[in-house]
Amino acid sequence: MSKIRSLLMVLVAVFSLPVLAHHGWSEYDSSKELKLTGTIAESGYEHPHGHIRLATPGKTWLAVLAPPSRMNARGLSPEELKKGMTVTVVGYQNRSKPEEMRAERIIVGAKTVELR
């Protein structure tokens, strides 16, 4: 019986790790929408979420984007998030990290991509 209990505890621990590693969206203030236009200083198109560092006048932001599979499905390729490109990001600021935001949509050229 103790072997089964030990195995169950290990399984619970293993399958709980991804949940613990993923942050909740409640850490972003959805009562105040931000709309920022700037130049991409860095980008990442990886799991669990893509990101860009957006250089705006006076501040560089970390914009947390959607998972790559969702961005691909909605027509946003990694080539559209290259360093030096100008984009507009609409989203919400992190409550405890003033340089971070969760992006709800991104505007690249004439294309608007909904991320959530």
| Unique residue bearing structure tokens 């959805």 | 30
- In the predicted model, what is the mean pLDDT of residues 34-47? 97
CATH code, residues 26-114: 2.40.50.140
The set of residues, in sequence order, having a beta carbon less than 8 Å from that of 59 and lying 6+ positions away, is 99
> Could you tell me the pTM of the whole model?
0.78
Using CB atoms within 10 A of its CB, is residue 103 exposed (0-12), middle (13-18) or buried (19+)?
buried
Q: What's the rounded Cα separation, in Å, for the pair 45 and 103?
A: 14
* Domain residue ranges in the chain: 26-114
Helix (H/G/I), strand (E/B), else coil: 77 = coil
Per residue in 50-108, pLDDT (tens digit) is 999 999 999 999 999 999 999 999 999 999 999 999 999 999 999 999 999 999 999 99
